[in-house]
Structure 1
Amino acid sequence: MASRVIPVEAFDMVVFGGTGDLARRRILPALYRRFVAGQVSDACRIIAAARSAMTADAFRQETAAALEGALPPPLLDRGRLAAFLDRLDYVTLEAGGETGWAALAARMRPGVVRAFYFSVAPALFGALAERLRAHGIADDDSRVVVEKPFGDDLDTARALNAVLARHFGEGQIYRIDHYLGKETVQNLMAVRFANILFEPLWNAQHVDHVQITVAESAGVAGRGAYYDRAGAMRDMVQNHMMQLLCLTAMEPPWHFSPDAVRDEKLKVIRALDPVRPVDVVRGQYLPAPGQPGYLEDVANPDSRTESFVALKVGISNWRWKGTPFYLRTGKRLRARESEIAVHFREPPHSIFDAAGQWRENVMVIRLQPNEGLNLKVMIKEPGPGGMRLVQVPLDMSFANALGAEGRDMPDAHERLIMDVIRGDQTLFMRGDEVAAAWAWTDPVIARWDAAGDRPQGYAAGSEGPQEAMWLMHRDGRRWREIRP
């Protein structure tokens, strides 16, 4: 199976914060891979802008070192790497001052797509947007890319939306959530809406419950200062997990187009029931032999910030009323694993004399690692001696089913950056969607802040605090095992 690579239009992309960690680890490697694939042509240019005084040649040398550290050797062909580095430029620039803006304006070319990637702290968004307009660098066809966190709560998210809206239209603002760029997440929509097989069963009548898990085996060391201000609820639930919930639960859009898809996601968020105190569990990972605990990683012995959260969520609409969605995410868990598991109800009547043998049908969408789909069904156990039922998986690993293409799927940032150049906002969050997610999340966080309780401790390498297990057990259900 060969995929078509369709080159994008010529563009000038300015990466503010171009010497930062995100640019080195994600943005520049993504652009290089698309260049190697032939999607980014020689007519495209990437201009890094940052405070550091640096020549363009020095920036190219730093980029070459970053690419060598981020990409496998087979991709780093000397000729292709040199050609990509020729596409790079650098401008020393002060976001809140006037230094460098005239030089940046002089580098912009007429007649090409202009995209501005704000790989900087949200506090600088307003200053960058204002100066891009004031110096005539951005026009009404330009695109602005902003990373999370998009606010710390509803008020700050509204303030950021207002700052950007003063200078750019909603159709020009691309709020990235890299989970939406994952192939498996997009395949969730394809499986649901391109196959008649599943959609008639995708409702409360046939689905017992849904589990969404985003587990990380690493702790927060190196990100402690940020993470202790955010916590799992802000860092994961409000954005990444909310998007997975929306794509799982939303109604079929009338068309696969930006506003049609985002309208349906917004309806899901607005239909979410308020989270009851008994339906949420917080945790912090404890020290383990040779490993610090959360409090040591964030250098704050009095921290009340959660590194784990589990929730039971209800959706009050005709499709999902009565079917709970269980969400959990955490650091320093047993393994790195992200999946959506749709557990179907048992048949209304069994014709087999097989008490205790029946196990539920489950569709599992694996996001990482080993991306793919798995459907567990009941069959007859082979052999003579009666009708004995056994559960077996119908397993599709992308790596096996799609060959080389499945093993070398594009990074999420590759897909999303190319969508920015194409002007396709389908996989980006809209301003009202972000605000609605914060409006649902804020009361939960406010309740925690008011109580001042410590999160429950859990052992590093476990599946989280015991209280999270009881969140499921009291309903007669069990979390799926997080497997190394």
Structure 2
Amino acid sequence: MSAQVQDNPNEVLTDETIIVVFGASGDLAKKSTFPALYALLLQDLLPKSVRILGYSRSDLSGEKWRKQLLGGVEADEESGELEKNDEKKKHFESISSYSKGPYDEDSGFKGLEEQFARIEKDEFDGKKANRYLALPPSKFVEVSHMLKKHNYSKDKANRIVIEKPFGKDSESCDEMMSKILGDWDEKEIYRIDHFLGDDTCRLLLQLRFANTWVDSLLNAQHVSKISVIMSETFGAEGRGGYFDEFGMIRDVCQNHLLQALTLLTMEAPSSLHGEGIRDAKVEVLKAMPPIKKEDVVLGQYVSSKTDPKKNSYVLDDTVPDDSKTETFAEFEMRINNDRWKGVPIIMKTGKGMDTDLITFKFHFVPPPSLFSDVEPTSNVLEIQVSPSPSITLSTNILEPGSLVGAKTVNVPLKYVVPKQKLAMDKKAYEVIIYNVIQGDKSGFVREDELVESWRIFTPILHWKEGADGPSPEPYEYGSKGPEEAMKKFEARYEQ
């Protein structure tokens, strides 16, 4: 039976609140979570009475804790991503403290509860505090159980924040979520996909539904193909041990890119608040059939012929020599509903590629034969997330004085992101934390979204990892990817 709901998910946490950052000794906390909390403090967007507790198994006493808490903040000050403010920084340090403890023993969480009681008694004048609990990605099932057992407030709001991976397929995800929902109500759970916190991804809603001309063109009558592309010039170096367990499809396709795709293709939500956006996302996911193995090309990068520093994936010390884990994936998806039926969606992602790029493209139906001199793939609406956030419409216009005819011109829609906003992950965590405080769950992943997303991807994951699974196609580090992918998909749809 689920826990009784004490929290109203639409309630803003304005009064006494304790934010606990588990895994406080890690890079994620240092480089993203603590700087995001500090940025919110600078903007007076944290609850008026707030305390921040770091918790992990590491010994972070004295100066070690200060460096962990403020190291990322000071690095962002130096880069100009955060404004310098010594007074605010001292205040941030004064409201933050650290506690060492295990994740799988009662003693650590009993000690944490003693900390809560002390803060409520001595610093909050005996007032009970809301509890914002940011769990470590690798241990959130165990930690969530311990927190419910020892640290659940019966008087105030409880919000647990968890981050992927949410299992490895439908079965493991169901098992994981069942355990968490045995202790916590769905309304108390905030599942992060930090990709949705980025400014450009959130802009997709505004672009589509605040502009009649845009959304009226995004349908099967006008669109011939949708492209979703995420490529990285770096490989899996430094995280090969983690990456080899999951691969490219699990790492970014089933979550980040699929989330963005739902925003690009869903029907208009009933509301921008509450459950409206999440309801619309689930509906479009339900219309997506599982991906077919014949529509997939997998690849794995091999050493560069020109750069000796760019070694083969399997030469990483943390990767097995015989690994078949994909570092590249390209495949076709479909949405079988009235808006998109018949429109192919090509999703492509890879490491060790020739460019860093995250972009979404709507390729429009070719013009009539009257304009035979116009390139058939010349009309495109592109929303680029990285490296230069922008929105561009490629259109055909007559070049003045030309005797040949129309030419394709890229028309930027003047979408400009200020320099200090370009640190995508850090800004995303700022948005995520703020939305948890606000009780706004529209940018978080609901349980039924997880069920549908794993339904779409689980068959090809089981196929690629089965006894008769394919060996990934080799491609050179720094290239455009496997030749087979280019042949397969360019043969179907000109890129």
Matched ranges for 1:357-376 at <5 A:
357=375, 359-376=377-394
Contact 1:25 1:66 (C-alpha < 8 Å) held by counterparts: yes
One-letter amino acid of the structure 2 residue matched with residue 32 of structure 1: Y
- 2:58 maps to 1:52: yes
One-letter amino acid of the structure 1 residue matched with residue 387 of structure 2: P
1:481 — aligned with what? none
- Of 147, 150, 157, the residue aligned with 1:141 is 157
1:191 — aligned with what? 207
- 2:339 maps to 1:292: no
* TM-score (norm. length: structure 2): 0.88
2:343 — aligned with what? 323
Unaligned 5+ segments in structure 1 are 1-6, 479-484
2:213 partner SS = coil
Contact 2:99 2:112 (C-alpha < 8 Å) held by counterparts: yes
1:27 — aligned with what? 33
One-letter amino acid of the structure 2 residue matched with residue 379 of structure 1: I
CA distance, structure 2, for counterparts of residue 403 and residue 152 of structure 1:
37
1:474 partner SS = helix
Matched ranges for 1:12-411 at <5 A:
12-40=18-46, 43-55=49-61, 58-74=64-80, 75-108=83-116, 109=120, 110-121=127-138, 124-139=139-154, 141-288=157-304, 289-297=308-316, 298-348=318-368, 350=370, 352=371, 355-357=373-375, 359-383=377-401, 386=403, 388-396=405-413, 398-399=415-416, 411=427
CA distance, structure 1, for counterparts of residue 222 and residue 51 of structure 2:
51
The 1:462–1:386 alpha-carbon spacing in structure 2 relative to 1, beyond 3 Å, is: same
The 1:22–1:477 alpha-carbon spacing in structure 2 relative to 1, beyond 3 Å, is: same
CA-CA distance at 1:69 after TM superposition: 3.4
- 2:14 maps to 1:9: yes
The 1:112–1:379 alpha-carbon spacing in structure 2 relative to 1, beyond 3 Å, is: farther
Quick check: 428-437 or 407-416, which moved more?
407-416
CA distance, structure 1, for counterparts of residue 164 and residue 422 of structure 2:
28
1:303 partner SS = coil
CA distance, structure 1, for counterparts of residue 429 and residue 419 of structure 2:
20
The 1:130–1:390 alpha-carbon spacing in structure 2 relative to 1, beyond 3 Å, is: same
The 1:407–1:296 alpha-carbon spacing in structure 2 relative to 1, beyond 3 Å, is: closer
One-letter amino acid of the structure 2 residue matched with residue 458 of structure 1: Y
Residues 397-421 of structure 1 deviation map (CA, whole Å, 9 limit, x = unaligned): 543xx65776688711110111011
1:253 partner SS = coil
Contact 1:380 1:387 (C-alpha < 8 Å) held by counterparts: no
Residues 104-156 of structure 1 deviation map (CA, whole Å, 9 limit, x = unaligned): 223333444321001241xx323322222222444472111001111111111
CA-CA distance at 1:232 after TM superposition: 0.5
CA distance, structure 1, for counterparts of residue 341 and residue 301 of structure 2:
34
The 1:223–1:405 alpha-carbon spacing in structure 2 relative to 1, beyond 3 Å, is: closer
The 1:408–1:158 alpha-carbon spacing in structure 2 relative to 1, beyond 3 Å, is: closer
2:157 partner SS = coil
1:441 — aligned with what? 457
Contact 1:117 1:146 (C-alpha < 8 Å) held by counterparts: yes
CA distance, structure 1, for counterparts of residue 331 and residue 349 of structure 2:
9
2:8 — aligned with what? none
Contact 1:217 1:336 (C-alpha < 8 Å) held by counterparts: yes
Residues 318-345 of structure 1 deviation map (CA, whole Å, 9 limit, x = unaligned): 1111100000011011121101001111
Identical columns (%): 31
CA distance, structure 2, for counterparts of residue 428 and residue 247 of structure 1:
13
* TM-score (norm. length: structure 1): 0.90
Contact 1:345 1:360 (C-alpha < 8 Å) held by counterparts: no
CA distance, structure 1, for counterparts of residue 234 and residue 420 of structure 2:
28
2:391 partner SS = strand
The 1:102–1:447 alpha-carbon spacing in structure 2 relative to 1, beyond 3 Å, is: closer
2:174 partner SS = helix
CA distance, structure 2, for counterparts of residue 238 and residue 358 of structure 1:
31
CA RMSD across the alignment: 2.2
One-letter amino acid of the structure 2 residue matched with residue 280 of structure 1: V
One-letter amino acid of the structure 1 residue matched with residue 469 of structure 2: G
CA-CA distance at 1:254 after TM superposition: 1.2
The 1:437–1:476 alpha-carbon spacing in structure 2 relative to 1, beyond 3 Å, is: closer
1:156 partner SS = helix
CA distance, structure 2, for counterparts of residue 133 and residue 70 of structure 1:
35
Contact 1:60 1:88 (C-alpha < 8 Å) held by counterparts: no
1:4 — aligned with what? none
Residues 323-368 of structure 1 deviation map (CA, whole Å, 9 limit, x = unaligned): 0000001101112110100111123453x5x524565311111111
CA distance, structure 2, for counterparts of residue 20 and residue 406 of structure 1:
24
Contact 1:370 1:397 (C-alpha < 8 Å) held by counterparts: no
Contact 1:8 1:418 (C-alpha < 8 Å) held by counterparts: no
CA distance, structure 1, for counterparts of residue 461 and residue 257 of structure 2:
16
CA distance, structure 1, for counterparts of residue 151 and residue 461 of structure 2:
41
Contact 1:56 1:91 (C-alpha < 8 Å) held by counterparts: no
1:445 partner SS = helix
The 1:61–1:358 alpha-carbon spacing in structure 2 relative to 1, beyond 3 Å, is: closer
- 2:441 maps to 1:422: no
User: How many residues are matched?
Assistant: 465
CA distance, structure 1, for counterparts of residue 108 and residue 440 of structure 2:
30
CA-CA distance at 1:261 after TM superposition: 1.2
